[in-house]
């Protein structure tokens, strides 16, 4: 006899969970109790939820489950960054990064397996899009990974385009924000998009996180050469959308700008960027390209980056230079997943050919610490 598949209760914002519990004939306060156990206590065993009645716990045990993601590889960096390769319930893998800095601990989470955007500077962009992550898989990168320190900030800047998985991402943001559970408020959450313009105002209206836009070019032609999404949402349309945004309070947009040697890092680019963002409440976050072996772009010198930043500062633009973290542990987004897939393919090929595993040292992973 085939066992009935249990329904997943993780990933439901409280109103949705209350609706589900009411449909079962139980009072709404039971949902609040259950919600606290799942998100505040992070308990996955219904039997240990001791303030729920025995009959209710038995019903939950029979009909529902609270799944967890798994860490398949843990790669610690010399700078304190930890990169995780995370295994999902269907065997697919994404990346999540623990980033400690003075005064905060940031977790960078993924929202999709692969990505449709195909940005030419991004390792994830070279991977086939597989599927969207569910809301529970997004928040579980916080809940089920044993981070060495409590997480204070969340950035949705890992694998995938958050606005291409908009509904599940918004559910996840509700869960991150809720003071009755995970308690990471809007001011401590940043969502990065390539600029899907028809979702930006609704995201601002929801007030669940701060907006960051991947810019990376100062002309339409330049941006289109490295970001195919620019054909659908051209740079002039993106900037016009940003100028017309209706913010609540004193919010502003962060423009992420990756400096790639001899592509978009000239003084002329800096001056065009100044002109491009006029009239927009903005902060410019500069990053030097994080090189990886799959893509033939180069990192500019520190001197070039600082000169570019200085031009922005002289024109009274708020600008930060975010230095790369975890460069010694394949920290470029998507790189670790590619390497893991290559190792699996190599092992399968060796098994087929009868080659001893010793011969695969070229593809062997770096030493991995237990999660």
Name 131's bridge partners. 113
Choosing from 108, 119, 122, 333, the catalytic residue is 333
95 is catalytic: yes
333 is known as an active-site residue: yes
Query: SS3 of 258, please?
Result: strand
- The partner residues of 83 in beta bridges, in order of sequence, read 75, 97
Q: How far apart are CA 361 and CA 249, in angstroms?
A: 56
Give the span between the Cα atoms of 117 and 123, in whole angstroms. 11
How would you write 77-121 as a 3-class SS string? CCCCCEEEEEECCCCCEEEEEEEEECCEEEEECCCEECCCCCCCC
Segment (H or E) for 365: none
DSSP-based three-state secondary structure for 259 = strand
For the chain, helix, strand, coil in percent to 5 are 40, 20, 40
Residue whose C-alpha is closest to residue 106's, from 188, 212, 194, 211? 188
Residue from 189, 194, 198, 116 nearest 156 by CA:
189
Active-site entry in 95, 137, 256, 339: 95
CB 348 within 8 A of CB 360: no
Active site residues: 95, 333
């Amino acid at each position: 006899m085939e066992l009935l598949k249990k329904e997943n209760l993780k990933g439901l914002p409280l109103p949705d969970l209350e609706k589900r519990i009411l449909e079962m004939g139980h009072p709404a306060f039971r949902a609040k109790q259950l919600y606290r156990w799942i998100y505040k206590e992070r308990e996955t065993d219904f039997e240990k939820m001791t303030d729920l009645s025995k009959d209710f716990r038995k019903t939950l045990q029979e009909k529902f489950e609270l799944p967890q993601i798994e860490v398949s590889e843990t790669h610690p960096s010399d700078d304190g960054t930890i990169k995780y390769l995370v295994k999902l319930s269907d065997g697919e893998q994404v990346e999540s990064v623990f980033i400690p800095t003075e005064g905060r601990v940031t977790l960078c989470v993924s929202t999709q397996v692969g990505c449709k955007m195909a940005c030419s500077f991004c390792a994830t962009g070279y991977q086939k899009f597989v599927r969207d992550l569910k809301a529970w898989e997004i928040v579980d990168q916080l809940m089920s990974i044993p981070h060495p320190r409590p997480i204070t900030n969340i950035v949705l800047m890992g694998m995938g385009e958050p606005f291409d998985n908009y509904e599940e991402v918004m559910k996840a943001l509700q869960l991150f924000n809720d003071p009755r559970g995970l308690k990471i408020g809007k001011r401590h959450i940043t969502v990065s998009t390539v600029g899907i313009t028809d979702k930006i105002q609704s995201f601002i209206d929801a007030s669940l996180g701060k907006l960051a836009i991947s810019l990376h070019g100062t002309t339409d032609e330049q941006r289109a050469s490295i970001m195919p999404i620019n054909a659908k949402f051209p740079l002039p349309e993106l900037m016009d959308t940003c100028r017309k945004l209706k913010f609540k309070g004193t919010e502003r947009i962060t423009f992420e700008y990756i400096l790639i040697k001899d592509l978009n890092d000239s003084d002329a680019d800096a001056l065009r960027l100044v002109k491009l963002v006029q009239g927009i409440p903005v902060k410019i976050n500069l990053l030097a390209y994080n090189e990886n072996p799959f893509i033939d772009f180069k990192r500019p010198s520190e001197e070039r980056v600082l000169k570019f930043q200085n031009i922005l500062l002289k024109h009274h633009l708020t600008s930060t230079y975010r230095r790369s973290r975890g460069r010694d542990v394949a920290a470029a987004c998507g790189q670790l997943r590619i390497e893991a897939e290559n190792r699996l393919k190599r092992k399968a090929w060796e098994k087929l050919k009868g080659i001893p595993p010793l011969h695969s040292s070229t593809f062997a992973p770096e030493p991995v610490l237990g999660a």
